[in-house]
Structure 1
C-alpha cells in the first residue's frame, strides 16, 4: 500500500549560487560520498532528500546526513538505509522507498514513493474534514 508520495525540483544554477554563497552547505547537506559528485548530481540528491521528507510528511528529526543517495551507476537510485531512516520508516510501518531522480535542462527532479503494510494514521480520515 502506498503510504506517501513526494516530489521536488531544484533549479541547478540557483542551487549552485547557494553553494557558492554558503560553502558549508555542501558538508551540511551531503555525506562524504555525495559531496564530491558533480553539481547536477548533488542537486538531484538534494531534490531526493526533499521529496522523501515530503513523502514522510515531515523530517521526523532526520538529519541531511541520515538521507544519503549513493552513486549506483548500474542500479536504480536508492536511499542508504541508515539507522535513523530505518527507525522512521519502521515507526510508520513502511517497508520500501522507491526513488527516481533526473537532471536535465537546468533542473533536477526527484520522485519518492513510500510503501508498506499500513497507511499513515494522519492520512486516514473519519469523513468530518469535508
Structure 2
C-alpha cells in the first residue's frame, strides 16, 4: 500500500552555483559515498542535483520531519544501476511513524533539470 508520495525538481546549474558558493553544503547534505561514483570519481553536478531532489522528495513524503538529518537519507545504486533508497536514523524513525517499510525511487536528469519521485510503501 502506498503510504506517502514525494516529488522534487532541481535546476542543475543553479544547484552547481550554490555548491561552488558554499562548498561546506555538500558535506552537510551528502554522505561521503554519495559524492563519488563506484569508481571513486567525483559525481557530476547533475547527479548530485538528482540526489538532492531525492532527499527533498523523501522529506516531502514524510511531511518534512523535524530534525531530519540529510545523511540519514542516501540514494545508492544496485550493480544493475537501479536506484535504491537507504534510510537510517531520523528518516527511518519518521518513516516508521507513518508505517513506511519500503521505498521506490525514480530519478532522472536531463535538459538542465534533475527530478525525483519517491513512493513510501507499507
Q: TM-score if structure 2 supplies the norm length?
A: 0.87
**Which residue of 2 is the match for residue 45 of structure 1?**
51
Question: Which of structures 1 and 2 has the bigger CA Rg?
Answer: 1
Q: Which has the higher strand share?
A: 2
Of 79, 82, 91, which residue of structure 2 is paired with 1:85? 91
Counterpart check, 1:33 vs 2:24? no
Deviation at 1:65, TM superposition (A): 0.7
Cα deviations by residue, 1:49-73 (Å, 9 ceiling, x for unpaired) = 0001111111342211111112335
Match of 1:7 in 2: 7
SS state at 1:93 partner: coil
Unaligned stretches of 5+ residues in structure 2: 37-42
Q: Which runs of no fewer than 5 residues in structure 1 stay unpaired?
A: 117-130
By how many angstroms is 1:75 displaced?
4.1
Moved over 3 A (4+): none
Q: Report the RMSD for the aligned CA atoms in angstroms.
A: 1.4
d(CA) in 1 for partners of 2:7, 2:98: 19
